[in-house]
Amino acid sequence: MTHFDAWIDGSIVGLYLLATVIAGLMVRRHVGKVEHFLVAGREMDVHLGIASLAATEFGIITCMYTAQGGYTKGFVGALPGILQAVAMLVVGLTGFCIGPLRRSGVVTIPELFEKRFGPRIRWLSGLVIVVGGLLNMGIFLRVGGQFLVAVVGFDASWLELVMSALLVLVLVYTVLGGMLSVLVTDFLQFVVMSAGLLVVTFLILDDVGWARLVETVEKRQGPGGFNPLAEGGPGWSFVLFQSCVQIAATLTWQPVIARLFAAKDEHVGRRIYTRTSVFFAARFVIPGLWGIAAAAMLSDADLAALPAGTDGSLLAMPTYLARVVPIGMVGLLVAAMLAADMSTDSSYMLTWGGVIYNDLVAPFRKGPWSEKRGLFWNRTIVVLIGIFLLFFGLWYPLEGDVWTYCTLTGSIYLSSMSILLVACCYWKRANSWGAAAAIVLGAGMPIVTLVLDKVDVEHAFFLTRLSPNWNGFLAYALAAGGMIVGSLLKPSKAVSA
């Protein structure tokens, strides 16, 4: 049962969508160059940067996997957010890696690698970034659609139609206005999203109460729901893998780094990092509380009533929200979640598209392209990514923990790119052999884990007997080992050449 009222709540959602598309289209006339399209002419200041980064890094997918984390792991499910908040704060204060990266004046990370490791490493880096990024993003539409189906209460057969309509709206303003439209709509989306998140959180705390949240975690997860290393907790493998993922994402997650590149200067970029750091904890903690509340308030019968083949731990939160959020507020919640999703989709399509254009296509260009031609190809690439998302989202059978899928796919490139960036900035001995070894080993481990997970149902291979967290952690260890061994093996004569 849902409280979504077609007139009251539908009007709120319609008004929000109209305002977003108008705002996104209004700035398109300022896009005359590829630099405007990809990095907004590097004119972004601190507060717009905070709004944009926060809106980009919170989509319906984020809300769903963090709530699933709260539902299945208790308070410990918020640990990745706390780890990233610490990483953002430290990196922002010290300028570790992001200082040299912003000063270099590049548009993407692989562009920086070309200066140090050569054009082949730039291309290979671009390839793993795009593969990891698109696989990661591939599930966003379906999971977002599942949330909307549960909260709004429309028929599940509409899911594909809603996903397609949402994507077309996002594509219209992203293709025409690029990063400028993304920044302006991000701002609007940040305000709507934050208002919705906070109002719903207060409603939930009022409905459940802190004491019941604590009791639920004590009953379901025991001490492991409060401390990851205690009995019943996810253990060391989770802590180690998540630490690696969050540090690497802080340094090299393309949509985050895109804000650094779009910032007016290095100082502004670093301030955006420090001032957004708490948000990275909040984006896990707040929906995590929603997930725990769902566990507290839903009965086994409620979960059994979910459509066959769906994951109860994933759909518990939206099912609970549909019941607890009243008429009028459901409209705000849906607008907030659409805002969150649209800002994430637009930004992610633009940033992965930027890497395809700048690092994968660029080496095959014969001579420099005009700004008009460059803009045409950037826009075409964004449309092609949109089509890919639609089809991938439709056929990929998502099973199990969404956050584990996201971190494994992200690690296809996060593992090696973070190692390459640190080595590029701070290790003189690093060279192309080490870089190539790090990329192959860092990407290989998560890809093998994802493929074996589908084909080796008997767990005959050693890797499928390990937990995904250990496999993920190994990707970072192997990438670091590959960089060190590969760099030391290359003859010093070849290094100087």
Partner 1 sequence: MNPHGHAFWWLVAAFCIVWYSTVTIYVAIRGARDIRVMLERLAKSERPD
Cβ-contact 169, 21 below 8 angstroms:
yes
234 forms beta bridges with none
61 binds partner 1 (CB under 8 A): no
- One of 46, 166, 375, 402 touching partner 1 (CB under 8 A): 46
Residue from 278, 361, 383, 495 touching partner 1 (CB under 8 A): that is: 278
The answer to whether the beta carbons of residues 266 and 47 sit under 8 Å apart is no
Between 30 and 323, CB nearer to partner 1: 30
Does position 230 bind partner 1 by CB under 8 A?
no
In whole angstroms, the minimum distance from the beta carbon of 147 to partner 1 comes to 20
| Residue 289 binds partner 1, judged by CB under 8 A | yes
Contacts 24+ apart (CB under 8 A), 130-133: 130/352, 130/355, 130/356, 130/360, 131/412, 131/413, 131/443, 132/409, 132/410, 132/411, 132/412, 132/413, 132/414, 132/443, 132/446, 133/254, 133/348, 133/351, 133/352, 133/355, 133/410, 133/413
Question: Which of these, 130, 56, 175, 114, lies nearest to 363 by C-alpha position?
Answer: 114
Three-state DSSP class for residue 263: strand
Q: Which residue has the tokens 């640990």?
A: 79
Nearer to partner 1 by Cβ, of 25 and 303: the residue is 25
Please list the residues that pair with 263 across neighbouring strands.
44
- Answer for which of 6, 156, 161, 198 binds partner 1 (CB under 8 A) is 198
Among 17, 25, 162, 205, which residue interacts with partner 1 (rule: CB under 8 A)? 205
| Radius of gyration over every alpha carbon of the chain, rounded to an integer in angstroms | 22
Interacting span for partner 1 (CB under 8 A) from 74-82, 148-156, 300-308, 325-333: 74-82
* Binding track, positions 12-31, relative to partner 1; x by CB under 8 A: ---------------x--x-
Residue 481 CA to its chain's centroid (Å): 26
Contact with partner 1 (CB under 8 A) among 12, 38, 39, 40 = 40
Which pair of structure tokens corresponds to residue 306?
Answer: 């979910």
Instruction: Between 27 and 389, name the residue whose CB sits nearer to partner 1.
Output: 27
Q: Toward partner 1, which CB reaches closer, 90 or 214? A: 214
Q: Is 187 in the site for partner 1 (CB under 8 A)?
A: yes
Pick between residue 52 and residue 449 the one whose CB is nearest to partner 1.
Answer: 52
Tell me the closest approach of the beta carbon of residue 114 to partner 1, in angstroms: 28
Bin 306: left if φ > 0, else alpha if -120 < ψ < 50, else beta: beta
Distance of alpha carbon 269 from alpha carbon 267, whole angstroms: 5
* 210-229 binders of partner 1 (CB under 8 A): 210-211, 214-215, 226
Should residue 281 be labelled a site residue for partner 1 when binding is judged by CB under 8 A? yes
Number of residues that bind partner 1 (CB under 8 A): 44
Exposure class string for 320-355: b at 16+ Cβ within 10 A, else e:
bbbbbbeeebbbbbbbbbbbbbbbbbbbbbbbbbbb
In the numeric block, the tokens 């548009």 are attached to 107
The nearer residue to partner 1, 281 or 294, going by C-beta atoms, is: 281
- The nearer residue to partner 1, 205 or 361, going by C-beta atoms, is 205
CB 347 within 8 Å of CB 136: no
- Pick 190 or 241: Cβ nearer partner 1: 190
Residues that bind partner 1 (CB under 8 A): 27, 30, 32, 36, 40-41, 43-51, 54, 75, 78, 82, 180, 183-184, 187, 190-191, 194-195, 197-198, 201, 205, 210-211, 214-215, 226, 275, 278-279, 281-282, 285-286, 289
